[in-house]
């Protein structure tokens, strides 16, 4: 429990005090947001707002996670500097987080250098995500990660060699879902913090109840809980400056990193499909785009005024803060439902509900 508190405290401090420095630095270098033409009328005032702020909370998360592994005092040994070994599960999650953040960073950098709202091509981005998925799947195999499809626990459907395809689907799906939600001030960061916070609870619960009954088959759940606690706090620190009206945006480096971490947490805690419920707002954003594209190609008509769906409500006249707060509420409901299902399964397994 102490490691979680240390990771969260350090990450929060680094994020909330590091973000203003990043804002000044990005402004000096004129690294600002480019607004799409189809939303210029509503969001033209955001043109030039510093972006790529995701670098701050990614670094804050990593610093908090590292510091949580440093011990300077123990009851038995007194004052002594000691580095606690990093677990395989934590390192795999860090790899997904950093790998996807790098993809997003390159995407943002191309946007900045070309002075446009389009970065990496779809093929290049998918190729990079494929490489990360393959590396993650190889590392997961070496760490004896369960390769069965899971909800709150494995369902007995072993994917075998197709596990890496499942990893790719989850990584790209989660990253793109968060990226699509990153269209309004604080929407992705606030929702992301709620979902990551849910996985802090899930992973820590798995750690506390892994023995002696062996209910869960997560890989290093305490490591996962520590990393997710660090990201939760880092996102809260960033949200202080990203809340409407935002003084900085996370950019693709932030949204890709959050998505990569969420996918890794779901894979390593064996709660693959539970992510669909806990992160339901990101699923809704993705589905709105898919339905919009399918409807327009098949019928020539649009279902929504604009997709992703948060822009639909924006064009209906809802104030941006109203859209963002209501989407936070919907995310919180999804988190509550997901945690309820997770805990209900625990009670059923333990026989408490019988």
pLDDT by residue for the chain (354 residues), tens digit each?
A: 788 999 999 999 999 999 999 999 988 887 766 555 454 455 445 566 888 999 999 999 999 999 999 887 666 666 667 788 899 999 999 999 999 999 999 998 888 887 666 677 888 888 999 999 999 999 998 888 889 999 998 888 999 888 989 999 999 999 999 999 998 999 999 999 999 999 999 999 999 887 556 678 888 999 999 999 999 999 999 999 999 888 999 999 999 999 999 999 999 999 999 999 999 999 999 999 999 999 988 888 888 888 899 989 888 889 999 999 999 999 999 999 999 999 998 888 766 655
**Residues in a beta bridge with 71:** 82
pLDDT for res 33? 62
State the virtual CA torsion across 104, 110, 115, 119 in degrees, nearest 10: -60
295, 229 in Cβ contact below 8 A? no
- Give every CB contact of residue 221 below 8 A, 6+ residues apart in sequence: 89, 203, 204, 206, 207, 210, 269
Rounded CA-CA distance 179/262 in Å is 13
Chain position carrying tokens 């945006």: 249
pLDDT for res 237? 97
Residue 116 burial (CB count, 10 A): 11
The gap between the terminal CA atoms of the chain, to the nearest Å, is 31
Rounded to two decimals, what is the model's pTM? Answer: 0.92
Is the sign of the CA dihedral 187, 230, 65, 283 positive or negative? negative
DSSP for residue 32: B
State the virtual CA torsion across 250, 253, 259, 263 in degrees, nearest 10: -150
250, 59 in Cβ contact below 8 A? no
């Amino acid at each position: 429990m102490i490691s979680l508190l240390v990771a969260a405290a350090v990450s929060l401090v680094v994020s909330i005090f590091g973000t203003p420095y990043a804002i000044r630095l990005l402004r000096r270098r004129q690294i600002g947001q480019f607004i799409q033409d189809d939303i210029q009328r509503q969001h033209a005032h955001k043109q030039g707002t510093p972006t790529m702020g995701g670098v701050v909370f990614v670094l804050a998360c990593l610093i908090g996670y590292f510091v949580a592994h440093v011990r300077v005092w123990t009851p038995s040994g007194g004052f002594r500097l000691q580095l606690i070994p990093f677990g395989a599960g934590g390192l795999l999650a860090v790899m997904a987080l950093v790998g996807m953040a790098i993809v997003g960073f390159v995407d943002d950098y191309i946007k900045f250098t070309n002075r446009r709202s389009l970065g990496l091509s779809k093929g290049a981005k998918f190729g990079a995500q494929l490489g990360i998925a393959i590396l993650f799947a190889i590392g997961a195999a070496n760490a004896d990660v369960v390769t069965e499809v899971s909800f709150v626990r494995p369902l007995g459907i072993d994917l075998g060699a197709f596990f890496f395809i499942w990893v790719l689907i989850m990584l790209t799906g989660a990253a793109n879902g968060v990226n699509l939600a990153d269209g309004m001030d604080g929407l992705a960061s606030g929702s992301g913090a709620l979902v990551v916070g849910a996985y802090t609870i899930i992973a820590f619960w798995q750690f506390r109840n892994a023995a002696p009954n062996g209910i869960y088959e997560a890989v290093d759940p305490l490591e996962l809980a520590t990393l997710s606690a660090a990201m939760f706090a880092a996102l809260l620190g960033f949200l202080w400056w990203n809340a409407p009206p935002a003084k900085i945006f996370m950019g693709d480096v932030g949204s890709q990193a959050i998505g990569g971490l969420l996918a890794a947490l779901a894979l390593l805690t064996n709660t693959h499909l539970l992510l669909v419920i806990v992160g339901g707002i990101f699923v809704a954003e993705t589905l709105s785009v898919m339905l919009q594209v399918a409807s327009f190609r098949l019928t020539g008509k649009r279902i929504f005024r604009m997709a992703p769906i948060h822009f639909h409500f924006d064009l209906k006249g809802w104030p941006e803060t109203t859209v963002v707060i209501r989407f936070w509420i919907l995310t919180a409901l999804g988190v509550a439902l997901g945690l309820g299902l997770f805990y209900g399964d625990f009670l059923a397994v333990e026989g408490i509900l019988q």
